[in-house]
Structures are given as structure tokens and as C-alpha cells.
Amino acid sequence: MRYRDASGAGPLARGWAWLRHWSWKRRSIPADAPLSQHRLFVVPTGFGLAWAGLVLILFLFGANYQNNLAYGLSFWLFAIALVALFRGWRNLLGVRLTITPEGEAFVGSEAQLRVRLAASRDRQALVVCLGRRLGRRAGRRAKPQHAGSRETVDVVDGEASLTIGWPVTIRGAQPLPRLRLESDWPLGLVRALAWIESPETLLVYPEPLSGAETVTPSPVAGQTAPEVARPRAPREAQDFAGLKRYVPGDSPSRLAWKQWSRTGVLATKHFTEPPAPPTWLDYAAISGDREARLSWLCAQVLAYHRRGEPFGLRLPGLTLSPASGFAQRRRALSALAYFPSESASSEDISREGISQKRGFGEDVFREGLAPRAPDGDVPGDVPGNAAGEGTP
């Protein structure tokens, strides 16, 4: 079970955090484990409390007036409540739930969690939701951005799946939220519920700055303005690459007449465009607070990737050599996500770097993803790897 770090708080706050941790540890069950009777709770609903009140009133009426019909009706309603309680409890018993993140998540958006339910027999009206509020109030009182945090599903033929939205507001490796599985089937008198905890984490990228492709941020004093991802104007091909066989429609100005006079074969001169200078996205060249810089860099990374243009990234403690493709995009976005938060000092960033944050080198730069450094690379660059890491 995960709980907030209260090491810097007073003894009362630390004791309260420990008590909450102990309480949730006793109530929650790990994901991919069948729900046992020790982690399955049954609470009455509002309708169930009204039902219990009616049973009590009928029983008192029968006892006061010696009315056998009131006795029978109260006992009959009480028996129905007992059967509903037992059936609702068995409806959740043994259900196995697995949580898997789907796709990518950016700050300010909604991450998609794939929830799979498995059971040995069919189950009815299972509700998977976020948060701790019980019952339909969780969906009725939810904010508009949390509208997708409650889904209902039936388990048919032993399995079912659904997708639930999780609003993310903090970047970095975030633990998956605690999910609540509940059901008020069959009559809505009682609600059986359980809390499921997943050990997996989701890497949340910074929020891309809107309009970053057209807005250039203010540069730091003494440095040039950073480059913005815009379509590059086509340049004239100047480097001679060789000859190719003539194809009708080739420009007459590029016909190799001397080659034709010697061999009698008409050929066309082929030229290539000279290599463009590498584009660098530099954290130190941008002014503003830390999160604003990371948002602008994130938008630039996405823009360059969409255009298929190579780019490099410079962060305090990490340098990614210019490259293109999905692997470079993933490395750059992961570096931005793992970048220390505002609470970390500049000395900590320079000393620790990003490669030491949460196993950055192990999760992002796996074998086969790092590009080879081109000749004449910038001194001090690490080709596609965290600072100080080498290829084993």
C-alpha cells in the first residue's frame, strides 16, 4: 500500500499517515488475486435501511396488536433481506481483477486504464470506480472531468473487460489508483464492495504547451532563442551523388552530355540535399519556471516527431544525441517526465542527474533502442542513453 510521505511533518501527522496506511493495507487486496471473504465488505444502502425500518415497524405492530399477518409479513421481508445479502456477497466473492494502463498519459489529460475481470461463473452488475465515495453518489456528484471514472459491467462466460478514465495531474512515474469494485445486486438492499490495489506505475509526461509550434519562448539572457518546430523550406540539392539512367521527364539541364558522347548511354545527374544542421532542444536556453519549460519542450518533441525531423535534447544531467523515430520520442518524453520537480534544488539536479531518478536508465534505454552516435558528435553527448551509462 502506498501513502504520502510524512517524514517532514510532526509526530501527529506521521501517526495519522501510518494509521491510514495500516487501515488501507487491511482493507485492500492485490490486483490479479481472487477476492476473499476477508477483504469483502457488505454495507446497507439507503433503500436497505428503509427496508429494515419497515420490517421493525411491522414486527412491533404485530407484537402490539397480536396480529399474525404483520408477524408473517415482517418475517417474510426479513428472509428476503437475508437472501439478498447472501446473494450480493457471493456475487463478488472470487472475482479476479487486473489493471493495465493503455496508451500514453500527459498531465491534464485522462489516462486510460484497462480493467479485466475474471470469475468462475457469471456475475451481474459489477461496478468499477475510482475514489472512496460509496454508491451512486460517486457518479452523481463527480466533476465533469471525472465522468468516466465509474463503469458497470456483467461477467459473462467467466470474463469481462472495460476501460476507465483516470485524470492525471502530476508528471513522473505515478502509482496506479486504488479501484473500488462494488455491486448492489440483486435488490439494492446491501452493497458488497472491495478495494483493489495494483503495484504497477504509469509514466505521466508533461502537459504539451498549446500553440508551442508558433510561439517562441523568451530566451535566457546571453543565449540565442531556441528553435521552434516549423516546416523547413526545401533547399536546393547541391551535392553530386552519381548518375542514373535517363527517364523521360528528367530536366534537360541535368543530362550528362559528356557521358552520352563517350558511351552513347543517356544518363541524368543525381544530386542530394546537403545534411541539415542538427536541431537541439535546450532546457537552459528557455526562461520561465520549470514546468513551463518542460511543457514547451514536450510540445516541441511531439512536433518534431510528427514531422519526422531529427532532434536532440539537452537537460541538466542528460544529453540525447539528435535522432528521429519512435524510440527517440519515447526517450525524450521519458526524460522530461523523470525530470526533478520544483522541490528539488539546482544542486541536486546537477549532482544526481536524471539517470538516477526512479531507474530511468533501466526503464527507458533498453538494449536496441539507443541510436549509434554519428561521427563528429557534440562532445559530452551520450548517444541515446542517460548520462554516465554505457552499453553493457
Read off the pLDDT of residues 13-41 as tens digits, 9 standing for 90 and up: 778 777 776 776 777 888 888 998 888 99
Residue 209's identity, in one-letter code, is L
- What's the rounded Cα separation, in Å, for the pair 183 and 196? 14
Question: pLDDT at position 184, please?
Answer: 92
- What's the rounded Cα separation, in Å, for the pair 46 and 322? 62
Is residue 8 scored above 60 in pLDDT?
no
326-381 pLDDT tens trace: 999 999 999 999 998 765 545 445 444 454 444 444 444 443 333 333 333 333 33
Mean pLDDT of the chain: 77
- What's the rounded Cα separation, in Å, for the pair 283 and 326? 21
Question: pLDDT at position 190, please?
Answer: 94
Question: pLDDT at position 64, please?
Answer: 92
Residue 168's identity, in one-letter code, is V
CB-based contact 49:200 (threshold 8 Å): no
Q: Which residue has the cell 486510460?
A: 112
Question: pLDDT at position 276, please?
Answer: 66
| Closest listed residue to residue 145, CA positions, set 114, 109, 104, 106 | 109
- What's the rounded Cα separation, in Å, for the pair 38 and 85? 16
CB-based contact 169:110 (threshold 8 Å): no
CB-based contact 229:304 (threshold 8 Å): yes
Question: pLDDT at position 150, please?
Answer: 84
- CA-based R_g, the chain, Å: 32
Count of helices and strands (H, E) across the chain:
9, 17
Question: pLDDT at position 29, please?
Answer: 87
Say which DSSP state 146 is in. Answer: G
43: cell is: 454495507
pTM: 0.69
- What's the rounded Cα separation, in Å, for the pair 119 and 298? 42
Strand runs labelled E in the chain: 28-30, 41-44, 96-102, 105-106, 110-118, 123-130, 150-155, 159-167, 172-175, 179-183, 190-197, 201-205, 239-245, 267-272, 280-282, 311-315, 318-323
Q: Which residue has the cell 501527529?
A: 12
Looking only at the bridges linking them, the beta strands covering 123-130 and 150-155 are antiparallel
pLDDT over 90, % of the chain: 44
Question: pLDDT at position 159, please?
Answer: 92
Looking only at the bridges linking them, the beta strands covering 201-205 and 105-106 are parallel
Say which DSSP state 39 is in. Answer: G
